[in-house]
Structure 1
Amino acid sequence: MTETFISRLNYVFRQRSLYVALLLWIALCVAAYTLAPSMPRLEGAPNLRSMPIGSSHYLVLVIIGIGIASLLAGRRPFPDLGQRAPDRSIALREVIGLWMYVAVVLVAGQLIGQHFFDAGISLHLNGSLMGATRVQSPTEVFTWAAYNGFFLALVPYVFFRLRGYSNASLSLTSTNLKNDVLIIIVLLALGCALDLRGHHTILQLTPHQQIIGGALSFVVHLFGTDLPIMIFIYAILMPRYAKLASPMTAYLLGAASYPASHIFESWTQYGSVTQGVSSVMLVFLTFFPAGIMKSFLTVRTGNAWAHVWAYHAISPHVTIDTPLVVQDFNIK
């Protein structure tokens, strides 16, 4: 097992795209730290100057988690995700077409949300992981979950199933359920332990709020962000990335797709060039490390569900975001 693990590490460190991504990350961190004093502060967003250190620290934790998952997977072969995609020309058209569709859905969500709730519909609720700047009504929360769940999960899933792709070709089945469950349990336990060290978690709530709020947070986040991310990035795009690029490049594209899909968060602003630059930098500093883990779990297990249960649905959206849902629904 040790020899296999070392040989895989050697392969990873020979990949040029890894060093390109590392240089881009360093450049992003340096730019954010250097430009922060001249950038506008975005309401509800983390401090831009502190983000490079915080995000890099989080990235180290993610790499440790990847190492643990790799050891748990042992000699299990890497699935060939590229075999689950169509020919390169079709795969390229599907990637471009899906991203065009997602862009329309995200922009439309901003316009619809602004019209009805004075705030756009994004892939996270206002205050998710960051701290709320306002209280959302239950109607707004349910609309958010229904909009994202329908347009970013159900519609793409049904469309590609009608095109003839099976659940297996969409990475929605397990080829080694026992090992998948082991990886999920271990990473979920580690994630929850890290989450619950904070000051604003589910532990600060009453038992009634924990049960009702936790269940409600699980459901609305499952439809509002977990399933949309799983379907359009890790079920559909990842196999096509694998068909179009080298394994390492495909993996990094999957990781970068996660922050790219969050370009319209509740705290992003695009009223000026400086606001836009600041927003984009914050989005990638915030979400790229998580994308690294989500992409790895999909590439390593071949199961798009793995990241949902190990690193999304419960940790952090129940452990950390339950207080947000309790506040929005006024659960006593």
Structure 2
Amino acid sequence: MSEPTPQRFLARVARATFLHPAGLVALGLWIAAHVAVLALAGGYLPFDRPAVAQLPFAVQVAVPTIGMVEVLLLMLVVYGLTRRRVVDIAARAPDRRRAGWEVGLLLTYAMLAQVGGWLLGPALGYRPFSFHVAGTLFGCSVPATPGEIWTWMTYNFVAFALLPYLWFRRRYSRESLNLTSSAPRNDLLVILVVLAIETAFELSAFPGILSLSPRELAAAAPLAFVIFFLGTVLPTMVLIYAILLPRYLKLTGSPTVTVLLGGLTYAAMHLVEGWSLFDTARDTALSLLFVALGYVGPGMIKSFITLRTGNAWVHALGYHAVAPHVVADAPMIGKVFGVL
């Protein structure tokens, strides 16, 4: 079969994104969310985010859209790298009736487990736990303590990775859970290319790691990798991309809708961030809007990579474990644990 012409390729991309009904709805919601932010914020965002606090208001509002543009460009790159592959992860899911039950039950469990983290953190004298510990990516005025980080990591790993994996592994194979590779060389290529692009993008926004000495980097980077790998990378990979994503595709029959649902689910697991404020209705609305704007895009690219490769490890290693959580967060982890 001959390669598609550039015109046909662009037409195919348009039909799968902005011209797709779900894509049009998503675009409309994206615009509506920004209108709501502008109306509520009054030119000022109250969040505790030292890493971006000095940026002009307009730039802070534009950051999620800049990130979304990068996500869409990454999708084109991944599509090009995997264009010869045919992977149907819906075939790995059970029948539609059972898939629907499993999605409903797992989402209910995930939200209850998230509420458990919101309660457990304050009960132990810490902040509420979510998929990110306080200070992740953006820093915070009161850094997390080592005890807070270890407790957050352990809770997330057990609640969102270990228990769901053990439950579903009783019935489904590792292949059915998107945890094996059908094309190791191509998967490695995708990991390396995505990692290189995302690392460059992250360094442009969070260059702090470049100021570390070799000794400091050797101490902080592995620590950050382990903490975030157990605390957020594995929970994300198992809960959403190993279990939920094949079932989303089985239920919808649409890769576009599946990518969007993966993005929304990823955002939903970050409802309470370290910088979030819930003191007033305005602050609550702004916090939830920025969670959606900030995390839907990253959740979408993780979904797309998994759909194209059928291997959830690819997104975890190419677009999560190192970039951003070592690139952006190693300096924070180094300071918390006194290795800087």
Q: Same fold (TM over 0.5)?
A: yes
Match of 2:99 in 1: 91
Residues 1:42 and 1:195: Cα distance change in structure 2 (over 3 Å): closer
Q: Give the % identical residues.
A: 37
**1:25 and 2:30 matched:** yes
Q: CA deviation at 1:290?
A: 1.0
Which residue of the partner structure matches residue 215 of structure 2?
208
Residue in structure 1 matched with residue 296 of structure 2 by the alignment: 288
Residue in structure 2 matching 1:232, options 230, 236, 239: 239
Aligned equivalent of 2:4:
2
1:326 aligned partner: 334
**Cα offset, 1:10, TM superposition:** 5.4
Over 3 Å counting, the alpha-carbon distance change for 1:72 and 1:272 in structure 2 is same
Alpha-carbon RMSD across the aligned residues, in angstroms, is: 1.9
Give the counterpart letter for 1:248 in structure 2.
T
Q: 1:62 aligns with which of 50, 65, 71?
A: 71
Give how far 1:39 is off: 7.8
Is 1:146 aligned with 2:154?
A: yes
How many equivalent pairs are there? 330
Go from structure 1 to structure 2 and tell me whether the alpha carbon gap of 1:272 and 1:309 turns closer, same or farther (over 3 Å shift): same
Question: Is contact 2:206–2:328 with CA below 8 Å preserved after alignment?
Answer: no
Change (3 A) 1:160 1:329: same
> TM-score, normalising length from structure 2?
0.91
Structure 2: tracts of 5 or more residues without a match: none
**Structure 1 stretch 190-199 or stretch 243-252: which is displaced more?**
190-199
1:178 aligns with 2:180: no
Counterpart Cα distance in 2 of 1:38 and 1:73 = 43
Could you tell me how far 1:25 is from its partner in structure 2? 0.9
Superposition map of 1:117-196 within 5 A: 117-162=125-170, 164-196=171-203
1:278 alignment counterpart? 286
Residue correspondence of structure 1 range 240-259 to structure 2 within 5 A:
240-245=247-252, 246-259=254-267
Corresponding residue SS for 2:324 = coil
C-alpha deviation, 1:327, in angstroms: 0.9
Shift of 1:200: 4.1
In structure 2, the partner of 1:306 is: 314
TM-score normalised by structure 1 residue count: 0.93
The 10-residue stretch of structure 1 (208-217 or 86-95) with the greater mean CA deviation from structure 2: 86-95
Consecutive unaligned residues in structure 1, runs of 5 or more: none
Which SS does the other structure have where 1:201 is aligned?
helix
- Contact preservation (8 Å) 1:229, 1:258: yes
SS at match of 1:117: coil
Is the 1:195–1:201 Cα contact (8 Å) retained in structure 2?
no
Q: Is the 8 A contact 2:140 2:274 kept in 1?
A: no
- Deviation track 1:188-218 (CA, whole Å, cap 9, x = no partner) reads 0111122223454221112111011100000
- SS of 2:42's partner is helix
